[in-house]
């Protein structure tokens, strides 16, 4: 449903377009909650990610809508829970025409494009790989990156491109054409991001930079080897830390460019889910989520609570901490309101269509109420709901392939979800489980299966599934 006016509103003789901020969304891939300096990480310095946090508001209870890659991104892109439209698992196996963000869903790129913005995606898409699901069919003017869930970092121009629905190799696209490139993807994506900003300096732009760092494969660029501490001997951990160093360098380049040339930019930074620290599950990368419990793929805090920063010079306070829960699905309505192109009628339609909220009045202190009364999750058999400081969760043990059943935690005193209070508060368990059932009643069944561990209803498939010529 369209709810952004394509026309420029004029207030007091000044067009809203003249003051529209640029919008930049940076997503890290599988970033461990505890691996960045601002969250206590010490193995390698992350001064540029920390500076990005200090430049605006650090949301200490920032959540994504799913504990792994594609559905989490679908929630951000549409401003609603992806379970509302069946995008529950990664789109790897099934009918290609049906895999990916459903075509009846509009994206943040659609909305900002209609508001007069130049739009681009740089990096990872993972929302379908046929022509109809391509980024340039979903509101993005430009695309430079890869279409699936994972990609190698060290590119070789002479290498043969290899496609897999979960992982591709040397298969970077510009638009709809494969490029043959040498280089390090984190650097190439940053080069492209800066180029897009400067090529569109005369109009507002929306840029979604989706780095594949720090997702597997844990490849180490030669230029980063000397910066990995010698005390770290685990090869997987060394690879992870090298990717984190490369990511931090990239954020530094972006920070400098914004400060010098694009100060009127609303910036969001978060990870698509928690670090993948449970070997050998879900692209294990050694990410550390402490003090949070759990990992990528779980509805425990370690799977869904992520680093989450929002900045906008002159509009949002710098160096602030915001403690009420916020969600990646809030990015779309926040950006749309910042763009200033909502008529009252369109705003009403947006409120009826979206589950995310405009965070600006909350982050500015103009509205002291929590943005969300509750947040809820469904991921296959896993469930969770948070209301205030109480969280009810039924999570999956990946090794045992079992469910925990409902457990209750007070996150104000137990961020690590270590003391199950379900037996002490049966009335809260009943109340919150009923609230989750009511929320879930508005969801739909998954449009495709996930892997058998996170989706026990999935049929067993061959090791060759998801591979094809492309």
Given the residues 39, 92, 113, 126, the one annotated as active site? 126
User: Which residue from 296, 304, 300 is spatially nearest to 280, judged by alpha carbons?
Assistant: 296
**Tokens standing for residue 14:** 């000044």
Report the relative pairing of strands 205-210 and 22-28 from DSSP bridges.
parallel
What's the rounded Cα separation, in Å, for the pair 192 and 63?
A: 28
Residue 242 tokens, joined: 């090298």
What residues contact residue 37 under an 8 Å CB cut-off, 6+ apart?
Answer: 45, 46, 47, 49, 50
The neighbour count for residue 206, using CB atoms within 10 Å, is 28
- Which helix (H) or strand (E) covers residue 271, if one does? strand 265-271
Catalytic-residue membership of 9: no
Contact indicator for 374, 436 with CB cutoff of 8 Å: no
Q: Is 126 a catalytic residue?
A: yes
> What Å distances lie between residue 267 and 22, 61, 251, 322, 377, CA to CA?
8, 18, 12, 16, 25
Q: Tokens 């994206």 belong to which residue? A: 107
Catalytic one of 69, 113, 134, 362? 69
β-pair type (326-327, 62-63):
parallel
User: What positions carry a catalytic annotation?
Assistant: 69, 126
């Amino acid at each position: 449903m369209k709810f952004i006016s394509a026309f420029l509103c004029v207030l007091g003789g000044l067009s809203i377009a003249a003051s529209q901020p640029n919008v930049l969304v940076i997503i890290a891939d599988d970033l461990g909650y505890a691996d960045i300096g601002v969250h206590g990480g010490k193995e390698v310095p992350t001064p540029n990610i920390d500076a990005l946090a200090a430049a605006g508001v650090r949301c200490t209870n920032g959540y994504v809508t799913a504990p792994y890659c594609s559905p989490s991104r679908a929630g951000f892109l549409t401003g609603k829970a992806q379970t509302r439209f069946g995008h529950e698992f990664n789109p790897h196996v099934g009918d290609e025409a049906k895999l990916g963000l459903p075509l009846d869903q509009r994206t943040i790129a659609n909305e900002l494009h209609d508001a007069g913005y130049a739009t681009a995606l740089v990096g990872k898409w993972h929302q379908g790989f046929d022509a109809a699901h391509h980024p340039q069919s979903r509101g993005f003017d430009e695309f430079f990156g890869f279409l699936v869930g994972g990609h190698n970092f060290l590119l070789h121009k002479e290498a043969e491109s290899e496609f897999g629905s979960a992982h591709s190799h040397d298969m970077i696209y510009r638009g709809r054409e494969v490029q043959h490139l040498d280089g390090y993807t984190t650097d190439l994506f940053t080069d492209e991001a800066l180029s897009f900003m400067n090529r569109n300096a005369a109009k507002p732009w929306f840029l979604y930079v989706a780095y594949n760092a720090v997702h597997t494969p844990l490849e180490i660029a030669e230029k980063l080897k000397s910066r990995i501490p010698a005390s770290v001997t685990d090869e997987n951990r060394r690879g992870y830390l090298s990717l984190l160093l490369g990511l931090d360098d990239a954020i530094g380049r972006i920070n400098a460019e914004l400060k010098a040339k694009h100060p009127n930019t609303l910036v969001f930074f978060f990870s698509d889910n928690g670090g993948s620290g449970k070997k050998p599950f879900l692209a294990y990368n050694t990410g550390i989520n402490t003090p949070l419990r759990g990992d990528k793929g779980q509805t425990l805090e370690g799977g869904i609570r992520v680093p989450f920063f929002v900045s906008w010079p002159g509009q949002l306070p710098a160096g602030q901490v915001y403690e009420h829960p916020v969600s990646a699905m809030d990015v779309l309505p926040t950006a749309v309101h910042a763009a200033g192109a909502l008529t009252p009628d369109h705003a009403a339609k947006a409120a009826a269509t979206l589950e995310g909220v405009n965070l600006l009045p909350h982050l500015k202190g103009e509205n002291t109420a929590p943005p969300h009364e509750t947040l809820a999750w469904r991921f296959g058999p896993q469930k969770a709901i948070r209301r205030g400081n109480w969280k009810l969760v039924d999570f999956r043990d990946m090794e045992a392939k079992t469910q925990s059943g409902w457990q209750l935690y007070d996150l104000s005193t137990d961020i690590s979800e270590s003391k199950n209070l379900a037996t002490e508060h049966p009335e809260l368990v009943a109340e919150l489980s009923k609230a989750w059932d009511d929320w879930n009643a508005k969801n739909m069944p998954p449009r495709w299966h996930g892997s058998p561990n996170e989706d026990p209803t999935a049929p067993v498939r061959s090791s060759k599934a998801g591979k094809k010529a492309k």
